[in-house]
Amino acid sequence: MFAAVHDPDKLSKYFTTGGASGPLQQGATVVWRFADYPGDVPGAVRKVVPGELIVLEWESGESDRTTKTEMVFEELTPESTLVTISESGWTETQQGLDKSYLNCQGWMNMACCLKAWLEYGINLRNGFF
């Protein structure tokens, strides 16, 4: 499960439809690209605990603010992992709330695509855009 997010080749098979520039290694800056979103989406990899945690920092689009995304991987059984994705740093303005809701939709989409790809070999984003 962790490798499917950490490895850019695997991530590109189900989520980053335009590719990912590199693995999520602590201290790196990675660029994700999407067919449905213009331009590059750079993110700073702040912390990685292999098999357990990935922390990313992104530009929020609100002045000089950034947001923090935490992905926690908790093995429940040898065959199942609970992935929890949380994001913080948005302003409590209408613009900040609107952007946070869009990102929430994006992370939900990522989780659904991850599950479909890992369990069934299906890329839900293929042909969608």
* pTM of the shown model: 0.92
- Please check whether residue 83 is in contact with residue 71, taking contact to mean a CB–CB distance below 8 angstroms: yes
Q: Is residue 76 part of a domain?
A: yes
Q: Is residue 69 part of a domain?
A: yes
Hey, which residues does 83 pair with through a beta bridge?
Answer: 73
* Structural domain for 104, as ranges: 2-120
Q: Is residue 126 part of a domain?
A: no
What is the spatial distance between Cα 61 and Cα 76, in angstroms, rounded to a whole number? 36
| CB hemisphere CA count around 63 (13 angstroms) | 7
Q: Is residue 128 part of a domain?
A: no
Q: Is residue 91 part of a domain?
A: yes
Question: How many structural domains are present in the chain?
Answer: 1
Q: What are phi and psi of 83, to 5 degrees?
A: -110, 125
Report pLDDT digits (tens) over 78-101: 999 999 999 999 999 999 999 999
Q: What is the dihedral of CA 122, 38, 46, 91, to 10 degrees?
A: -110
- The CATH number covering residue 53 comes to 3.30.530.20
Q: Is residue 59 part of a domain?
A: yes
Q: Is residue 125 part of a domain?
A: no
What is the spatial distance between Cα 9 and Cα 79, in angstroms, rounded to a whole number? 22
Burial class (CB in 10 A: 0-12, 13-18, 19+), 32: buried
Q: Is residue 129 part of a domain?
A: no
Report pLDDT digits (tens) over 95-123: 999 999 999 999 999 999 999 999 999 99
Report pLDDT digits (tens) over 3-32: 999 999 999 999 999 999 999 999 999 999
